[in-house]
Every structure is written in C-alpha cells, then in structure tokens.
Amino acid sequence: MTQRPGIAIGIDVGTSGVRAVAMEASGRITATAATRLADITADHRDPQAWRIAFERTLEQVLAALDPAAVACLCVDGTSGTLLAVDASGRPLADPLMYHDPVRDADVLTKISRLAPRESAAHGATSGLAKALVLARLPGVAQVMHQADWIASHLSGRLDLTDENNALKTGYDPVRREWPEWIAATGIKPGLLPRVLPAGARMGAVSKAAAKRFGLAETAAVMAGTTDGCASFLATGATRPGEGVTALGSTLTVKLLSREPLFAPQFGLYSHRLGDLWLAGGASNTGGNVLRHFFDDARLAELTDLIDPASELGLHYYPLLKAGERFPINDPDLAPRMVPRPDQDHHFLQAMLEGMAEVEALAYQRLGELGAPALVSIRTVGGGARSAAWRGIRQRTLGVPLLEARSDEAAAGTARLALGFFTTEDRR
C-alpha cells in the first residue's frame, strides 16, 4: 500500500463538537484534540460556533507537533447538513441540519416526481430538499455542505464538495455527475458545488490559513466525506466483503462492495469510496431496546452472568415498537420478545442473541442485493465493549470479528487524506 508522505490531520465536525486526529503515513496517531460546542454556545446550529470549535481544535492538535510537517488536512461533517452563503462565504441564515425535515410540499413533490427511484435525494431530510429551500435566500452565491464550509476556511474555496456529501443532494455517483433532472427542479445554475472524489486534492491551503495556523503553504486540503463514511474508514476496513457493525442505540451495518447497491425499500444506497462502494442499512433494534428494560449499571451486572457459549435459542426480534425497515421492510413488524425467561440475565441474553440474528440477516440481505460475501466484521459503538455480546455474535455470525483500528471519525478522515483507501492494497 502506498500512502502520501508526511502527517495528515483529520477533522470531524459532529453534532456535539469538533475532534481532530494527527496521523503519520504509517497510520500511527500522534496527537488528538477536541472542542465541545457546548463550551462555546448553546446553539449547535450556529456555524460561527462550528468555525470557532474547528479553529480551537486545530490549534490544539498543531501544538503537539510541528505544523510545518503537516502534508494534508481533510474534513468530514454530518451528512445532509447544508447552509447558504454569500460570495464571501458568510452564512445567510441558520443551517438546515441533517435531521431537519423540509415541510415545503412543492419542493418534496418536485423531487418525488423528478428523481429516479434509487436516488438518495428523496425524503424530507434530503440534502436536495434543503438546497432547494436555501437557494431562495436573497444574495445566495453557494449552497454548501457542512464539511465544505469548514474546509473552505483552509482552502479558501467555496465551490467544491466530495462525492459522499453530495449523494443526498442528488449527485449521481455512478455517472459521477450532477444529473440533468436536477436542473428541472429550478435550482439556479452554479449554486451547487463541483464534486471531487472523496480524498482527492482540493488544492493547497490558502495563504491566510497557512499564516493563521503556521502550516506550510504546500500543505494540501483534501476533499472530505460524511461522518458515517469517516467512522467506517477509521476501523481499517478497505477490502470488498469487510463489514462494520455499529452497536449503538440502533444497529447499523456497512459493507464494502465492488458494485453499488441501491434498494430504496430498505433505505439502502451506496457511497463511492475510490473504486469501491460502501453500502449499509440500519435496523431499529439495538441498545435503545436494552436500556428500555435495564439501566447501565444493571446491564453491566447481568452481562457478567451470561455464558456466551450457551444458546437459549428463543429467536427474539427486539424492537421497542412495531415497525422495521432493514433487514426486513415491514412498517407493521411486531416486536418478538416472548417467552420471557424467569431470570433477568437470560432475558438479556435472549435479546442479545436476537440482535445478533438480526445482524446476520442484515449482512445476508446485503448479499442478496448483490454485495460480496461477508469475510470479516469490525465493531464500533458502545456495544463493542461487551465481551458477552461479542461471544454471542461470534457464534452467530460465523466470520472473524476483527478489532477496529479506531472508532474516531477524525481518524478515518486522516486515513482518507493519507491515501490509505487506495486500489494498490486490494489486489
């Protein structure tokens, strides 16, 4: 594998703050830093607070190394968060966040009528729906994704984005272009940015940024990605068939594929990463179900009593309420958590076994849709720390469970900048 020389800094702009990781070409992390948005403002929508948090975090990580040794920088942001700016890059209104729904019926009807069925632009929270609303603001010169705007403070460029952030804004990752049908939505020409592959060179840092942070003027700003893709890349997965499961409040699976997968009935679409595709889906099962019955202290106590080598075989489908989208698309799918064992630790074990079966079915479904056979799984999220859950999953999934290199999205963005995600390592 051939990486770019020098140190890369990955910057993750999340919902609660900004994190940064400095990484050598070998993959070794040499410094980290973080700034909470709550320490700056009570308004997580304030883009100036994002900027301040970004600057503080970058200053902190640079204080731990020689800024002149930094070869490249890269930014990821929350998928589907957009803002409108004027010609100088000044935000014209509050951003529309990743979870903000657009309630303009005309906008939603227009997208529904024009966008192909498999496009990620559908839905009230899509990037395109937000872009069409923001494009109406007086004086708007550019509609930008969150990662693009933060990166502009390094590059001085307002007109560039990456293929991952652009996906929900209607970009066609297969043809690698803004499709013709987007013009029919009425958005003004030039408001949408030019799209680069994730990890491609945007250009050198601006002279202002080089002076502000002590960076070499030869340091490059690389096209970023979404926070979800960055979290995947942080684990070290790079080959087709390698999966990553996030065991958080919900259960999310992602798998690298040689071909793109699009299955809107499951909420499934694919991000382009180099010459591979990252496909994934999310189930409604997960830690939110466990915490409905037990608090963290009780969960820890009960987990110690579980023998992961034994199997209860109750085949639960743990949900808090009816409805599932992936790996089963059924809005009326009822929770299945009976019979309840007499002992609480057996009840917890039955839920964990059920979640492992849902996880196995999710990867099976990806295979049925055209993904390669699953060869390994890395795990992130709070559930990754549970030895009992790991043992149950190992027994159920039947593939190696590998350790994630990192669970920091910023580390994934640094790896992207360094060129770890390259074709040379997949022969």
| pLDDT value of residue 24 | 96
One domain, residues 326 and 352: yes
> Within this chain, do residues 32 and 102 fall inside the same structural domain, yes or no?
yes
Looking at residue 189, its pLDDT comes to 84
CATH number of the domain where residue 386 is located: 3.30.420.40
Same-domain status, 397 and 421: no
The pTM assigned to this predicted structure is 0.92
Measured at the alpha carbon of residue 128, what is the angle toward residues 127 and 133, in degrees to the nearest 5?
A: 100
Q: Are residues 211 and 119 in the same domain?
A: yes
- What domain count does the chain have? 2
Q: Per-10-residue mean pLDDT for the chain, 427 residues long?
A: 78 95 95 97 94 98 96 96 97 95 96 96 96 97 98 98 97 96 93 96 97 97 96 95 94 96 92 94 95 96 96 97 95 97 98 98 96 96 92 96 95 94 43
How high is the pLDDT of residue 144?
Answer: 98
Name the residue range of residue 302's domain: 237-404
Cα separation values, 58 from 22, 62, 408, Å: 10, 6, 16
Residues 257 and 139 placed together within one structural domain of the fold: no
332 and 258, same domain (yes or no):
yes
Do 17 and 121 sit in the same domain of this protein? yes
Please list, in sequence order, all residues whose beta carbon lies within 8 angstroms of the beta carbon of residue 90, skipping any fewer than 6 positions away.
none
Could you tell me which residues come within 8 angstroms of residue 281 by beta carbon, excluding any fewer than 6 positions away? 252, 253, 266, 267, 268, 325, 326, 327, 362, 365, 366
Residue 2, domain member (yes or no): no
Q: Which of 186, 177, 169, 160 lies closest to 89 in space, CA to CA?
A: 160
Between CA 138 and CA 223 the distance in angstroms is: 28
The SS3 of residue 161 is strand
